[in-house]
Structure 1
Amino acid sequence: MQGFQFVYNLMQRSFPKVEYRNFEVQLALLEREDYHIYTYVKNGSLTAFYARYMLPGLTFIEHIAVEERYRGQGLGSQIMRDVIAGTKQRIVLEVEPPADSTDAARRVRFYEKLGFHLNDFSYEQPALRQGGAAVPLQLMSYPQALDEKNFGQVKQNILKHVYGI
C-alpha cells in the first residue's frame, strides 16, 4: 500500500484530475491481470512509475511519471526505452493535443524522439470519475502510425478493455 500511495501522490502531481481515477478505483485496478504498475528506485527511494495494460495485440501505457526532482535527467526516456524493449506488441498511449499548450507539445516531442507517432484521428478519453466529462486527447503509437482502419480497431480495444465501454 505504501508503494501505491507514492504512485498515486505522484499521479496527482503529474496529471490533471480528469486523467486519473479516484484512489480506491485506481487501487482496485491492481487486481486485474492485464494491468501493472512498474516503479523505479534511485538512491533508495521511489522516483518514477509507469502503468500499462497488456491488451489483445497492444500494450497501452496509461500513465508515466517521474518525481519532480529527477525530471530532465533521462529517466523518462529510459523508462520508455525499457517499455519498447520489453514488448513485441504495438505500444499506444494517450496525450493532450499538442496545440493545447506548450507542455502538451513538449510531451508529444518527447515521445516522437523515442519513435512514437501522433495519430490525427478523433479520440476522447471517457470520464474517469463519477459526473466527469470525456477528455479530448490523441493517441500516439509505436513503432508506426496508425491508418484509419487500425486506429478504429485500437480505439475500440482501448475503450472496451481499459474503460469498459
Structure 2
Amino acid sequence: MTFLRITKPHPYLNSIQIWYEGSFPTDERRSFADLVTLLSCPDMHFCALIDTNQLVGFIIYWQWPDALFVEHFAIDPAQRGKQVGQQALAQLLGTDYTYIILEVERPEDELSQRRVRFYERQGFFLNLFDYVQPPYQPGKAAIPMRLMSIPSIANQSDFDTFSELIKKQVYERFYR
C-alpha cells in the first residue's frame, strides 16, 4: 500500500471527491473546494491510497509533534471487504507518534457500532469523555461524537488538551 501525498491538483481528486462526499455527511466535512485549498498546508496530509497501482481510497490526517489526527478515511466502495482499510491503517499505525486520534460517530446505531468495532480491531480505544466535532464553518452546529485513540487517553486533562488542539488546528484556523 502506498500513501501518495497530494499537495496540488491531481487526477485522483475526481474519484476521491465522489468518495469523500458519498462517505461523510455535509456537516461532517468541508466543501471539496475548501479542502483542495488546504492541499499545501504543511501539517495536513491528503493521501491517495494506492494498492497494486490502483487508487483504492484516501486518508486525510494532520501531523503534529506528539499526535497524528485522522480527519477523514474512506475506501472505494468496490474495494470494501478486501481488508484494504486494515492494510492502510496498519501502515499508518507503523508511524512513530505518541497518540493517533480520530473522530467517530457515537455508537448509537448498528452502522456506527460497526465502525467503532472496526477501529477497535485495529487497536484503537473508544474514549468515553464528552466530545463534539467543531463545525467546519462558523455559525454551524457542533456534532456530538467520540474520539478514538491509540493509546487510550488516560484522563480528562489530556483529553481536553487534544480536543483543543484539534479544534484550533483543524477547524477554527480555517474559518472565513
**Residue 156 (structure 1) aligned to one of 152, 155, 164:** 164
Aligned to 2:140: 132
Deviation at 1:131, TM superposition (A): 4.8
AA partner of residue 131 (structure 2):
Y
CA shift digits 1:10-50 (9 cap, x unpaired): 11111111111112211111121000112123454311111
Of residues 36, 60, 77, the one that matches 2:86 is 77
Paired residues, number: 164
Q: CA RMSD in A?
A: 1.6
**Does 1:103 find its partner at 2:111?**
yes
Structure 1 residues 148 and 131 mapped into 2: Cα distance closer, same or farther (>3 Å)?
closer
Where do 5+ consecutive residues of structure 2 fail to align?
A: 1-8
Query: Closer, same or farther in 2 for the Cα pair 1:78/1:43, shift >3 Å?
Result: closer
The letter for the 1-side match of 2:99 is R
Q: 1:142–1:52: structure 2 CA closer, same or farther, 3 Å change rule?
A: same
Residue 53 of structure 1 is matched in structure 2 by 62
Shift of 1:95: 0.1
Does the Cα contact within 8 Å between 2:127 and 2:152 map onto a contact in 1? no
Q: CA separation in 1, counterparts of 2:111 and 2:91?
A: 23
C-alpha distance in structure 2 between counterparts of 1:118 and 1:163, whole Å? 22
List per-residue Cα deviations over 1:94-150 (Å, max 9, x = no partner): 000001x21100000001111111111111112224653211111001023332111
More helix by share: 1
- Determine the structure 2 residue equivalent to 1:93: 102
Structure 2 residue matching 1:123: 3-state secondary structure: strand
Q: Scaled by the length of structure 2, what TM-score is found?
A: 0.86
TM-score by length of 1: 0.92
